[in-house]
Structure 1
Amino acid sequence: MDLNFTEEVMYTLPFYLGPLFILATINFLRKQKNYRLNDTLTNATIALGNLGLSFIFLLAVVALYTLVYNEYRLVDLDQSNPLIYLLAFLVYDFLYYWNHRFHHMIGLFWADHLVHHTAENFNFGVSIRISYFTELTMWMTFIPMAFMGISLEVFLAASYTQIIWAFCIHTKYLKKTPRADKIFNTPSLHRVHHARNRQYIDKNYGGILIIWDRLFGTYQRELESDPVVYGVRESYPSFSPLVINSYYLKTIWQKIKCSRSVFEVLCSIFAPPAWLPKNANKADFYSLTAKVKSKDFKPKDPYICKRTKWTAFVRFSSIVVLFTYLMSYFGELPTLPLVSLSLLFFWLCHFNGLVFDGAKLGLPMEAVTQVLYGLILYWAIETDQAAWITLGTATLALISLCNYVIYRTRPTAPVELSAELQ
């Protein structure tokens, strides 16, 4: 099994991050505010984590799908017939609707899918803001296609069509599409799906076709009388990808601790997100943010100065370099550099998130970074790796240290902003 992902990184990374930064740059030059730096880099780092883990998880999913298709398919379909692609598209879209709906209905699945909904801006970056573990919860719904005799190649064609469509509908443009809204999941309808407005919650689950929502009673059009406000009722507490990917799991654990029976424990894990144990105090689960009316809701946007923003962007550049090297040589790396690189990647993503939170980060935070770099540097020197690996590691460690020094000497928020943020 090939665990080096050089080709996957080469083709996928530009497709993931290229459009995001092109659109963000255009947005910046036009002095618009739909692509904030904190939100954009958080989307990108979450996407990288998802991408890396998906490369690995998909090997198992593909192997399982192939096994079911080869050994247990119920009918033999002509895979060369163009109609097989139409069948696969319709079946995939139908299963996607229910997969998506289950992710809103089942607490454990919501812990995964919530990551996508925590975005409080709506742009292309949201389309790649996907949980680290989404492949672990997505695959089960689509295995019936293998039993139906739809080959892996045809299944992947239907899947990629869905992915491309999903990228395209995460936009605030195309305001009114009344005719298309009757058949397709349009940007307008998907904006509704991402809204925190009460009447918009849990609506429009469809992938490409919206007809399933019309059939099963979850259709809702965008209303001029109720402008869409993005995010979740319980606002996420951080820009850190690690916090965002784990914070609803903490809520599930709180529910379990409040449970007084096996039934309540099971409901804590699998019941809809709104469910609470009988003995639970709502104040422990829902902050004041949940009570804020949508028209009064403001996206989370702590103040950080330009100097600190530059350090965050430089750190993100280092994250991309580390990710590319790690995934390209994943199957060849010994345990020490593999573990150190993996930990360093997630640590730097977390570090950047805390910077965007406006947190005061002490020397121990940077010390962890330097220790991880030191372990990689030790391995490179001890095993006589290529000079570019040793030099590159030392350079990134030095850049990280300089970033920390600059961040530590950052100016505080201006007086007028400080008062507003308190």
Structure 2
Amino acid sequence: MEAFINKLLESYLAELICSKRLYKLRHNASELARKISRKGHHATFYFDLEDPYSYLMLPVVEELEIAFQISFDIQVVAPRDASHRPEQEALERYAMLDAGYLAQAWGLEFPTLIPNQKRLRTDALRLLLYARSTTAEWIQLAKETSDAYWHGDFARIHKLVQQNRLLDAFDVPEKLKENTDRLYKRGFYLPASVFYRGEWYWGLDRVYLLRDRLKNMGAQEHQTLLYPDWGNVRVPSRPNDDVNLFFSFRSPYSYIAIARIALNPDDYPLEKIHLKPVLPMVTRGLPVPKEKKMYILKDAARIAHFEGIEFGRVRDPLGKGVERAISIFLNTPESKRLDIAFRLLGDIWARGCNVASDSYLKQIAAEFKLSEPAILNAHASRGYELEADANRKVLSRLGLWGVPSFSKGRLVAWGQDRMPLIFEKSFK
């Protein structure tokens, strides 16, 4: 009984945290407080020299300052906490590939071949960690420094060192750690991020949310080019290639991806999409710290609100719920799998249902005209483990580990944000 009550309380608490009304109320209250205090729009940008997403954000932060009445404080960081960044080597390899696609979509420059530039790191950080008088001055120098660093251009770094004031080399580790610790203490873990009045915006993928928030607050001064065009991206696939979608019932982003497909069937080649369930990261030995889980929940909620997808009353399916959800899915005819995945995920992430209970399974069996005994006992054979593990191995061979992930021909991508890339169609 106590466990049931705790689950129920967690569900209603999640609904409150994810409430669209509360989300707007926080924005409005923050803006009212800003106006009362007569402060301008001010944000903090966290930049990591060795992070490709930070590299891409530099001209975008510059554009935000031009287009909106907003100023930035810059923090140069180097977050490398393994608990927040599982599969570090795979992440770095994938980030380079992904950043290349992002650069094409946003019309930005990005190096296609990275030489060994580690010897330039200290001098580059000496330039970047030194306080500049204006954000514009820092961004201009950061663009030059980062470009030289990422291209392994010793001569340019040397010239910049000669021409600019810079931090003492002995002070670099301490200053970098101080800034990184400040990022963690704020409850976040990713570079290339903007923190604006209580909310985090990671990389190019969340610029549209910051842009729209500032626009709603009346902060826009000029027209902006902060819109990606995924039609500009050259991809190693063909439009008629089949798409594998790897997902987890414990992933809110998986729910959003599948909801987008299920709610907009005319926009997707349904007959070519193959759903591949995997077990949650935590059951695969990949850590998910508390602050990361909280950010993911809030971030998924605001994306769902933006997309018009029901979200909020969450019932964590970890354990028996995941086992039974995968088993139900695998025991459903192929023609109904998208519908049942959407239903199960919606019941987990929007309606707070206990998908592990017998009464719930009986209801699902009746609605989808499935064999009730087969559904109730589907997980007993443990066949779902073999299927989920086989999908995990395929995902690993693709160089990925998180969900939702996609493969299409030789194109691989991670995250529901890459659906325009995979399906070669812009949705925003």
Do these two structures clear the TM 0.5 threshold for a shared fold by scoring above it?
A: no
TM-score category (smaller protein):
under 0.3
Q: What is the TM-score of this pair, normalised by structure 1?
A: 0.27
Q: Of Structure 1 and Structure 2, which has the larger fraction of its residues in helix?
A: 1
* TM-score after normalising by structure 2: 0.27
Structure possessing the higher relative contact order (Cα contacts under 8 Å, 6 or more residues apart): 2
